[in-house]
Amino acid sequence: MALQNDLFLQACRGVRPSRTPVWMMRQAGRYLAEYRAIRAKVSFTELCRTPELCAEVTLQPIDILGVDAAILFSDILVVFDALGVDVIFDPAPRIEQPVRTAADIARLRWGDPREACDYVFAAVRACKAALADRVPLIGFCGAPFTTLSYLVEGGGSRTFEHIKGLLFREPGVFHGLMEKITGLLVTYLQAQVESGADVLQIFDSWAGALAPEDYREHVLPHLDRLVRETQAATGVPVILFARGNANILADVATIPADVLGIDWTIELGAAIDVVGEGRVVQGNLDPTVLLSNPATIEAKTRAVLAAGRRAKAHIFNLGHGISKHTDPGLAKRMIEVVQGG
């Protein structure tokens, strides 16, 4: 079926659409009263495991804000079900038994994500049915390094001592884990596309934890493989978002992702200079700008929009996830400005 609004899909495929499409990372979430109303009734885990509720929250920003793409409601860490590792969301994720020793690694199950995460693919199907081809649906996963960092750290981290300690102390073990998680993620993304996802985004949220040369040597080859194998297996556009260190952008741009996500630590124009005018970029308004006022939001939104004109195509987004303290009315103002208001 043809999509009613395919501006986002056109941009992902490298065609500059009639106007700049817009969506927001973490657009389904706690800043929306409608989301909080559902979360008052079910836990985050239960929500992720109930396809009809996933579809309901996935559609909230489409109905309330009018964004040009939907992103599956789920989390990058539910894939640990395929490893037999339990995650507690409280609301930040926590793993009771982080994977740090040889014995911990030996206990990992490496099951088939098609079976272990069957509820994710059911959620993709429910979202597609509920969307009724209004806008495209984005599926996603965490990048190998970001995913592994949660597994080894046991949650979020300021220092990443455990994952980086493992990398520098036992590079062979680190690379073995990266290789296996990459293979699993390809299958996970492929199953999302088979269930109906139109585009995929890979989140390397903790790319900034490593020095540029270490990222280049130890992370980039796995990320490159994930993107290429996913593109070959699915045929859908892949967006790569590596966050936290603009110094690695030139390296990230060596990967043939269809779209490069840009965080807010670099001006969009400077990012386009680095990745080249032949690439499609996504980003990059600092999400905390949405905590200000309509005039500031308009001015900063227009500056990002203007900078994006030099790229092959530009998908407007925030430079990271929307803050839970955002007034949805102000987010809507940003979206209206992008859409020509």
Candidate list 6, 56, 68, 75; residue touching ligand 1CP; CB under 6 A: 75
Tell me how crowded residue 41 is: count the other CB atoms within 10 A of its CB: 9
Binding mask of the shown chain, residues 30 to 69, with x at each position contacting ligand 1CP by CB under 6 A: x--------x----x-------------------------
Residue nearer to ligand 1CP on the CB measure, 159 or 293 = 159
Angle at 72 (CA atoms; ends 70, 78), nearest 5 degrees? 160
Q: Residues with Cβ < 8 Å from 296, sequence gap 6 or more?
A: 289
Report d(CA 13, CA 32) in Å as an integer: 31
Point out which span in 13-21, 70-78, 222-230, 280-288 binds ligand 1CP (CB under 6 A).
70-78
Candidate list 6, 9, 20, 29; residue touching ligand 1CP; CB under 6 A: 29
Q: What share of the chain is helix, strand, coil (3-state, %, to 5)?
A: 50, 10, 35
Least spacing, CB of residue 305 vs ligand 1CP, in Å: 21
Least spacing, CB of residue 159 vs ligand 1CP, in Å: 13
Binding flag, residue 93, ligand 1CP (CB under 6 A) = yes
Report d(CA 266, CA 39) in Å as an integer: 35
Binding flag, residue 321, ligand 1CP (CB under 6 A) = yes
Give the closest residue to 28 by CA, choosing from 72, 68, 66: 72
Binding flag, residue 237, ligand 1CP (CB under 6 A) = no
Point out which span in 91-99, 122-130, 215-223, 300-308 binds ligand 1CP (CB under 6 A).
91-99
Point out which span in 1-9, 26-34, 191-199, 209-217 binds ligand 1CP (CB under 6 A).
26-34
φ/ψ region of 74 (left if φ > 0, alpha if ψ in -120 to 50, else beta) reads: beta
Q: Residues with Cβ < 8 Å from 59, sequence gap 6 or more?
A: 70, 127, 130, 131
Binding flag, residue 162, ligand 1CP (CB under 6 A) = no
3-state class of 322 per DSSP?
A: coil
Instruction: Give the residue nearest to ligand 1CP (CB).
Output: 156
Angle at 318 (CA atoms; ends 317, 322), nearest 5 degrees? 125
Point out which span in 20-28, 121-129, 184-192, 297-305 binds ligand 1CP (CB under 6 A).
20-28
Least spacing, CB of residue 38 vs ligand 1CP, in Å: 9
